[in-house]
Amino acid sequence: GAGVSQTPSNKVTEKGKYVELRCDPISGHTALYWYRQSLGQGPEFLIYFQGTGAADDSGLPNDRFFAVRPEGSVSTLKIQRTERGDSAVYLCASSRRQGAAETQYFGPGTRLLVL
């Protein structure tokens, strides 16, 4: 079946602009996760959803970052007033359900470049 998909695959924006990144999880997966990966580093957790609600947003770096999942499927990560330091690959993952031992399957990521 189809895996996790993310759009756009690449996004170039200017400092101060607003961006939205979209994630389509694997069909039927109830848990959805966002991570950020800087060059040469491992992914860093941002936020995860169980259904429509954000179960843990402890990884969001500041209040410029926000994510929604209004219908419990597709999620959008929103970044306001982008800064050059926001440049990274933003990865989305999903799992069948919430739980520490549930395998998370990753999408290809959105490469964000803030000029």
Partner 1 sequence: GESVGLHLPTLSVQEGDNSIINCAYSNSASDYFIWYKQESGKGPQFIIDIRSNMDKRQGQRVTVLLNKTVKHLSLQIAATQPGDSAVYFCAENSGGGADGLTFGKGTHLIIQP
Which residues of this chain interact with partner 1, rule CB under 8 A?
A: 4, 31, 33, 35, 37, 39-48, 55-56, 58-59, 91, 93, 98-109, 111
In the complex, least distance from residue 64 CB atom to partner 1, rounded to whole angstroms:
19
In the complex, least distance from residue 59 CB atom to partner 1, rounded to whole angstroms:
6
Nearer to partner 1, 20 or 56 (CB): 56
In the complex, least distance from residue 71 CB atom to partner 1, rounded to whole angstroms:
21
CB atoms within 10 A of CB 110: 22
Q: Tokens for 81?
A: 């007033």
Nearer to partner 1, 21 or 93 (CB): 93
Distance CA 79, CA 63 (A): 9
In the complex, least distance from residue 45 CB atom to partner 1, rounded to whole angstroms:
3
Nearer to partner 1, 52 or 81 (CB): 52
Three state DSSP letters for 3-68 = CCEEECCEEEECCCCCEEEEEECCCCCCEEEEEEECCCCCCEEEEEEECCEEEECCCCCCCCEEEE
